[in-house]
Amino acid sequence: MKRFMIVCIMFALCIGASAQDNFSFWKKDRAYAENAFSINTAGPIPSVGFQFDRQLSKKTTLSVFYGEANPVEGIDLEFNNVSYSGTFAEESSWSGMIISYRPIEALQAFRVTAGIGVGSLNGFLDDADGNSYHWNDGGAFTFTGIGYGLRPVKGLRLGADIGVIKTGGGIISTNAQTMDSASRALTLQSEFAGGWYPNLQFTAGWGF
């Protein structure tokens, strides 16, 4: 994960250096670009990823992406007077594709987006009685949202997206060290059910 983060940071620095002499992000007459390569960061799950964009038309973009989560350590939770501690989003990654469409001719930066993908989100929790719990939400997911920026132009491209991710909801497993572990696993299963995740993403890339 650390190497992945370093590669992303180096790519961002290279984009910034190249853009210094060609920065015209807000100009309306920038040249059309059929392709782009980007990096992105998202939340509330801290993550970083790569994205390649291909214009199907001047209004429609197909994006393929890969991302990895930055684990959130030191989580403390309490359900039914039982305390849990652990890590969220460890060993978690995803990939897929998104279609973006620009419906307003006079506002090309505005986009509506929809996509599908596969991934795996993991959480590891422990209670005070020595029971360990593994939460995994894996498999297919869908994404819908809106975005602003990432116009299909050459040079620096910036954008922000907000939307909702829907997954299967996840499954809790336990090492069952005590008699209470089964009921506690059911409690955690209920608390983590649903599979709805908000997503806020920022993207920087280069069109060519």
pLDDT of residue 192: 82
- Residue 149 carries which DSSP code? E
Tokens found for residue 183: 């009921």
Contact in structure between 38 and 51 (CB atoms under 8 Å): yes
Q: Are strands 60-69 and 47-55 parallel, antiparallel or unpaired?
A: antiparallel
pLDDT of residue 7: 52
pLDDT of residue 178: 87
Tokens found for residue 64: 């393929």
- Name the percent of the chain in helix, strand, coil, to the closest 5: 15, 55, 30
Q: Which amino acid is at 170?
A: G
Q: Strand locations in 5-59, DSSP E?
A: 35-43, 47-55
Q: Strand locations in 89-195, DSSP E?
A: 93-101, 110-127, 132-149, 155-166, 171-174
pLDDT of residue 191: 84
- Residue 76 carries which DSSP code? E
Q: Using only C-alpha atoms, what is the Rg of the chain?
A: 20
Q: Residue 138 maps to which CATH number? A: 2.40.160.170
78 domain residue, yes or no: yes
Q: Which domain holds residue 44?
A: 2-22+32-207
Contact in structure between 73 and 87 (CB atoms under 8 Å): yes
Q: Are strands 132-149 and 72-79 parallel, antiparallel or unpaired?
A: unpaired
Contact in structure between 165 and 143 (CB atoms under 8 Å): yes
Question: How many domains does the chain divide into?
Answer: 1
pLDDT of residue 44: 83
User: How much is the pTM?
Assistant: 0.78
27 domain residue, yes or no: no
- Residue 153 carries which DSSP code? B
pLDDT of residue 92: 93
137 domain residue, yes or no: yes
pLDDT in tens, the chain (208 residues): 545 555 554 555 455 444 444 444 445 678 889 999 999 998 888 899 999 999 999 899 999 999 999 999 988 999 988 999 999 988 899 999 999 999 988 888 899 999 999 999 999 999 999 999 999 998 999 999 999 999 999 999 999 999 999 998 889 999 988 888 999 999 988 888 778 889 999 999 999 9
pLDDT digit string, tens, across residues 133-160:
999 998 999 999 999 999 999 999 999 9
Q: Which amino acid is at 178?
A: T
